[in-house]
Structure 1
Amino acid sequence: MTTTTDIEFMIGRIATGDRQAFLSLYDATSAKLFGVCLRVLDDRADAEDVLQEVFVKVWRNAGHYTANGLSPMTWLITVARNSAIDRKRARKAPAYDIDTVSGLADGAPGPEMAAIAASEAARIGACLAELEAARAGAVRGAYLDGMSYAELAHRHDVPLNTMRTWLRRSLQKLRECLSR
Structure 2
Amino acid sequence: MTNEELQIKLAALSNGDKTAFEEIYKHLNKPMYTIILRITQDKALSEDILQEVFIKLYKSPPKPPIRKPRAYIFQIVRNLAIDSVRKRPQFADLKSIEDIVYLPTDDFSQKMDIDHAMKTLPLQECQIVSLRINGQLKFREIAGMMDIPLGTVLWKYQKAVGRLRSILSGGAI
TM-score range (shorter-chain normalised) is 0.5 to 0.7
Label 1:26 to 1:152 Cα distance change in 2 as closer, same or farther (>3 A).
closer
Question: Is contact 2:11–2:63 with CA below 8 Å preserved after alignment?
Answer: no
In the superposition, the TM-score normalised over structure 1's length comes to 0.54
| Residue identity in the other structure for 1:85 | I
> How far 1:4 sits from its partner (Å)?
1.6
Letter in 2 for 1:82: N
1:117-149 CA deviation, whole Å, 9 max, x = no partner?
xxxxxxxxxxxxxxxxxxxxxxxxx98x99x53
Superposed, which structure 2 residues align to 1:61-72 within 5 Å? 61-64=60-63, 66-68=65-67, 71-72=68-69
Are residues 152 and 28 of structure 1, via their aligned partners in 2, closer, same or farther at CA, if it must alter by over 3 Å? closer
CA distance 1:20–1:91, shift in 2 (3 Å)? same
TM-aligned CA deviation for residue 39 of structure 1:
1.1
Q: Which structure is higher in RCO with an 8 Å CA cutoff and minimum separation 6?
A: 2
Aligned runs of 1:86-101 on 2, under 5 Å? 86-92=83-89
Aligned residues: 118
Long gaps (5+) in structure 1 = 94-141, 169-180
TM-score (norm 2): 0.56
State which structure, 1 or 2, has the greater radius of gyration over its C-alpha atoms: 1
**Counterpart secondary structure, 1:64:** coil
- Percentage of pairs with the same residue: 24
Q: State the one-letter code of the partner of 2:87.
A: A
For residues 88 and 64 of structure 2, what CA distance do their matches in structure 1 show? 29
More helix by share: 1
Q: 2:150 aligns with which of 154, 157, 170?
A: 157
Q: Any stretches of 5+ residues in structure 2 without a counterpart?
A: 91-121, 129-138, 162-173
Q: Distance in 2 between matches of 1:24 and 1:159?
A: 34
CA RMSD of aligned residues (A): 3.3
